[in-house]
Amino acid sequence: MHGSYFPELEKGDILSSPSFILIVLSIIAIPAVFRWLFPGLISTRSLKGLSVAGGILILWEIISALGLVNPVLLPPPGRVFSNIVYMWAIGFLQPQIVSTLFRLTYAFILALLSAVPLGILASYSPKYFSPLEPLVNAARVIPAPAWLSLSILWFGMGHASAIFIIWLACFFPIFLNTVAGVSKVEPAQVETVLTFGGNKFDVLVEVILPVSYHHIVTGARIGLGIGWITLVTAELVSVDIGSGLGWMINDSRILLDTTTVLSGIILIGIFGTITDTVLKRFEGLVQGWS
């Protein structure tokens, strides 16, 4: 009654409910034992979070095993995890992850390289940039996915159109936060550097970048969040794109393969958490700097 990406997986290789529950329990229990042996190594908070997440998974598995929900609509988590492992083992998953992350990082780095210098320029020579403000404000209000159709017209289906709208999504938060950050620079700080014989480059490196660093990283985090949303939309719409986690989700949805749909959602959540954590680390860096 429903299709599947991997019919061979249906026949076997699926984690049985008891073994899945056992694995989850041990994932909760091992850190708990560690904490008991070496107090202070693992925080109580992460242990609490882990046990709630594990509890939800076990409950979900039991509900599925008892047949309370239709497995086509909501497959058991054990099947979802074996599906992820299987997709990795046959080498199907890696290209999807690589192309999704490639699109995201490419557009994100492009956005950083364009938005930060433009933001600094805009707040330092308002004479040339304030006339453009009405246009920037209008462009800012149009959500990036609304540009998708236009971007497909301009760049065709594929990497380029996706990268364009992800760049657009990341650009405005970074740009506006850079402008806000640079406006926090006090004239006295700039004058101090100039008095001690520094040039404009010194002002940039010694004053403007350190002062606005925090704002820029905050903008980058907001931009990356919106970039993820836009990335997924681009991959869902451009069916011809043929790769990426979003594409995988939509393609398996058409086959009513909910297991692969859920695998994709969970993987996107994991990678979103990873990219956000990396940027959070950068946010922490500045405390030592300034």
Partner 1 sequence: MSIVSGGMAGITFVRHLSGKMMPEKVYRVLVVWALFLFLWEGSLYAGIFKSMLLAPPTAVLEKTFYFLEKGYLQINIAASLSRFLAGFAIAIIVAVPSGIAFGLSRGLYEWLSPVLNFIRMIPPPAMLPFVIILLGIGETPAVFVIAIGCFFPVFMNTMRGVREVETIHVEVVQTMGGGRADLLRHVIIPSAMPTILTGVRIGFGIGWLVLVCAEVVAADSGLGFMIEGARLLLETPTVFVGMATICVLGLTMDILLKRVEKFFILRNGGGYLNYREG
Residues within the interface to partner 1 (CB under 8 A) = 44-46, 48-50, 52-53, 56, 73-74, 131-135, 137-138, 141-150, 152-154, 226, 228-233, 236-237, 245-246, 249-250, 253, 256, 258, 261-262, 264-265, 268-269, 272-273, 276
Task: Using the structure block, give the residue that is written with the tokens 């989850």.
Answer: 24
Smallest distance, Å, CB 192 to partner 1?
27
Nearer to partner 1, 89 or 239 (CB): 239
How far from 166 is each of 61, 105, 106, 139, CA to CA, in Å?
A: 36, 10, 9, 14
Nearer to partner 1, 92 or 155 (CB): 155
The two tokens of residue 239 are 């069916």
How far from 207 is each of 2, 63, 203, 220, 281, CA to CA, in Å?
A: 61, 58, 5, 20, 22
Smallest distance, Å, CB 122 to partner 1?
15
Rounded distance, CA 100 to CA 271, Å? 10
Smallest distance, Å, CB 223 to partner 1?
12
Nearer to partner 1, 78 or 246 (CB): 246
Nearer to partner 1, 32 or 132 (CB): 132
Nearer to partner 1, 157 or 194 (CB): 157
Smallest distance, Å, CB 256 to partner 1?
7
How far from 18 is each of 53, 64, 77, CA to CA, in Å?
A: 17, 12, 12
How far from 48 is each of 25, 29, 36, 45, CA to CA, in Å?
A: 13, 12, 14, 5
Smallest distance, Å, CB 260 to partner 1?
10
Nearer to partner 1, 179 or 267 (CB): 267
Residues 6+ apart with CB under 8 A from 95: 243
End-to-end Cα spacing for the chain: 61
The two tokens of residue 200 are 């404009």
Nearer to partner 1, 144 or 193 (CB): 144
Nearer to partner 1, 67 or 197 (CB): 67
Smallest distance, Å, CB 45 to partner 1?
5
Smallest distance, Å, CB 91 to partner 1?
23
Smallest distance, Å, CB 284 to partner 1?
17
Contact 80, 262 (CB under 8 A): yes
Residues 6+ apart with CB under 8 A from 120: 178, 182, 204, 208, 212
Rounded distance, CA 202 to CA 241, Å? 45
Contact 66, 128 (CB under 8 A): no
